[in-house]
Structure 1
Amino acid sequence: MTATIVAWILLAAIAAYACGGGVDYGAGFWDLLAGGAERGERPRRLIDHAMAPVWEVNNVWLIFVLVLMWTGFPVFFQTVFTALWLPLALAAIGMVLRGAGFALRKPVRRLAARRVYGAVFAVSSLLTPFFLGAVVGGVASGRVAPGTTASADAWANTTSIMAGLGAVAATAFLGAVFLTADARRFGARDLVGYFRLRAWIGTAALLVTGVLALVVTDPHASYVHHGLTHGIGLLLLLLAAAAAAVTAWLVAGRAAGWARYSSVAAVALVVAAWGAAQRPYLVPTSLTVQQAAGASEPLQWMLIVAGVSLVLIGPALVVLYRLDTHGVLEPLSDEDVAR
């Protein structure tokens, strides 16, 4: 019972990182597609100001995920990091380069250096979620059973590629929705329509990749496919699709701020559907939650640590996100929005 609770906490932490980190990755994705230095100046300026206050904070969720895996499910941790070390290493390198590119491109004065740092930030924002999604696909496909050695087959397969593309689509969707709301609260009226169109494109991409993933992964991840097309997994996917549709409707009007909540709900429901489809396995169909769990005493301590974290860290993160989304931390100046 304790292992099951910790497993659901692990899934919730993954969902939190997918949503919080996904917004930032999505902003980098649209930064990549913003165009040349002149055409993309204003969108990139908005992206810089929108991301600056909280972009480092979202990695808290990733650290929490790693701690839960390592301490609560050591067999699962060993299995994943043995078989999938290459995409995980590429994702980690992407995170480092992305952070360096974002932090360094703003203070540098030379245009050439700014372009280099900007390109590093933007390209890493695309590749990192793809490799993280590929890891999820490798797990869902059941190709990383305990004892599996590292190979391209473990993550360069149909399920992994579709999961990677789905992760990129989800980040693009989240980033565009949040940037639409940011453009409105910063008073950059011309950018509201700019990012609204991209929010609609992201919504369509998320729905299309989701449908394609269900179609093409049936023979490659049959257990998870069955879970996603039946019972609670199907219900959660339908709710996610409804939340995405509501998001597309909300960004069309003046309620773009509310669209942030529905977009987060859409992505979180997709993650929940994946978790529900895999149960009772962490790696279908070779490693159950109970088989992967560590000793009972560390698991009990993990529950205590999770509770303390919820009490001490949770409210601080909620306040930080609320201050940021209300434009309190770093508003644009008149010079930034006027042209």
Structure 2
Amino acid sequence: MADLVAWLIVLAIAAYACAGGTDYGAGFWDLLAGGAERGKRPRWLIDHAMAPVWEVNNVWLIFVLILMWTGFPSMFQAVFEALWLPLALAALGQVLRGAGFALRKPTRRLAQRRVYGAAFAISSLLTPFFLGAVLGGIASGRVAVGTTASADAWANPTSLMAGLLAIASTAFLGAVFLSSDARRFGADDLVDYFRLRAWAAFAALVVLALVALPVTRDDARYVWDGLTGGLGLLMVVLSGVCGLATVLLLLRRLHGPSRWSAVATVALAVLAWGFAQRPYLLPTSLTVDQAAGAAQSLRWLGIVTLIAVVLVGPALVLVYRLDTQGRLEPLTDADTAAAGTPGDDG
């Protein structure tokens, strides 16, 4: 049961990396869209594409936390003691991001819209970086039971590379999905706009992955060994194949399949990390069996999780599918305040 819960955590992280990563990626491109006039059309699409269904993505993060503190309390305590600062900064980024996105819609004055938009966009960059830095700190073996908080736990080479890879992954996912959404919303001028950015983000992802290879070998040896052999290596290869498939699908303008291949690219990369790290939750100091909570707690956690998957899972899949197929009621300019409003030039 402990192994099952551990893999549920990995799968939930993969789900959040894909679903939430798409959300963060939209904010990344919002940041790089340019000034008020130049960035008006891309931001219009981002406002419309980020329907309420996108915010369902945060459910996966809550799911991860519940599984951690219930199934593996010693791991939960160790991680939050050693890495409380980047986790707190990521949480702050999520709050500022949501507030900035919500408040810029009804705001009428251009100066205020810029402030709220900057909060949304910058937080979309920083939050995935800090979450990636946390995973990097764990993978490098710098977190163990009793480890006190320090900058080295998350400001190290592996954490830096993991944070940058997280940003590149979200940018890749966001651009792929926005290119498809541009076609769905009839914004033909933005299809190629985001298609080119998806290719650029994938190129950056490949470069960062190549740079991360020697860094991981020297700084996170146990995980490196897992990534270069066995199932970990298989997941890495499959992730690369799916990434290349996404590039080709975008080239052929097959936007629907490109979304699935982009999601597979990121999900398989997370699974590769999970296989590379096993049987440790905290390499190389705390295994799954050592960190497992009470047997009765794990048993009930598995039962409740199974019930939740059966009851909630199909509904989430249906909502995601209806949204990506454009069958939900589309947002209007009035809903998003994307149209011109009095005082925009004030």
Match of 1:10 in 2: 9
Cα distance, 1:333 vs. partner?
5.6
Equivalent residues, number? 336
- The CA distance in 2 between the partners of 1:126 and 1:159, in whole Å, is 18
Match of 1:29 in 2: 28
Does the 8 A contact of 1:53 with 1:329 survive in 2? no
- The CA distance in 2 between the partners of 1:290 and 1:332, in whole Å, is 48
- The CA distance in 1 between the partners of 2:257 and 2:195, in whole Å, is 14
Does the 8 A contact of 1:53 with 1:330 survive in 2? no
> Is the counterpart of residue 312 in structure 1 residue 326 in structure 2?
no
Q: Counterpart of 2:281 in 1: which secondary structure?
A: strand
Determine what percentage of the aligned residue pairs are the same residue.
71
- Mean Cα deviation higher: 283-292 or 206-215: 206-215
* 1:1-339 mapped onto 2 (5 Å cutoff): 2-331=1-330
Q: Counterpart of 1:121 in 2: which secondary structure?
A: helix
Match of 2:343 in 1: none
TM-score, normalized by length of structure 1? 0.97
Cα distance, 1:34 vs. partner?
0.3
Q: Counterpart of 1:276 in 2: which secondary structure?
A: helix
Cα distance, 1:117 vs. partner?
0.5
- The CA distance in 2 between the partners of 1:313 and 1:208, in whole Å, is 38
- The CA distance in 1 between the partners of 2:178 and 2:128, in whole Å, is 18
- The CA distance in 1 between the partners of 2:248 and 2:331, in whole Å, is 27
Cα distance, 1:186 vs. partner?
1.1
TM-score, normalized by length of structure 2? 0.95
Cα distance, 1:332 vs. partner?
6.0
- The CA distance in 2 between the partners of 1:285 and 1:21, in whole Å, is 29
- The CA distance in 2 between the partners of 1:301 and 1:147, in whole Å, is 28
- The CA distance in 1 between the partners of 2:164 and 2:231, in whole Å, is 24
- Runs of 4+ off more than 3 Å: 332-337
Q: Provide the aligned C-alpha RMSD in A.
A: 1.3
Q: Counterpart of 1:282 in 2: which secondary structure?
A: strand
Cα distance, 1:202 vs. partner?
1.1
Once the two structures are superposed, residues 75-125 of structure 1 have per-residue CA deviations (whole angstroms, 9 ceiling, x without a partner) of 110010000000000000000000001111111111111111000000000
**What amino acid maps onto 2:236 in structure 1?**
L
- Mean Cα deviation higher: 326-335 or 58-67: 326-335
Does the 8 A contact of 2:51 with 2:331 survive in 1? no
- The CA distance in 2 between the partners of 1:312 and 1:212, in whole Å, is 43
Cα distance, 1:208 vs. partner?
1.5
- The CA distance in 1 between the partners of 2:315 and 2:62, in whole Å, is 17
- Mean Cα deviation higher: 213-222 or 150-159: 213-222
- The CA distance in 2 between the partners of 1:96 and 1:328, in whole Å, is 29
Which 5+ residue runs of structure 2 have no aligned equivalent?
340-346
- Mean Cα deviation higher: 68-77 or 227-236: 227-236
**What amino acid maps onto 1:22 in structure 2?**
G
Q: Counterpart of 1:144 in 2: which secondary structure?
A: coil
**What amino acid maps onto 2:259 in structure 1?**
R
- The CA distance in 1 between the partners of 2:273 and 2:160, in whole Å, is 16
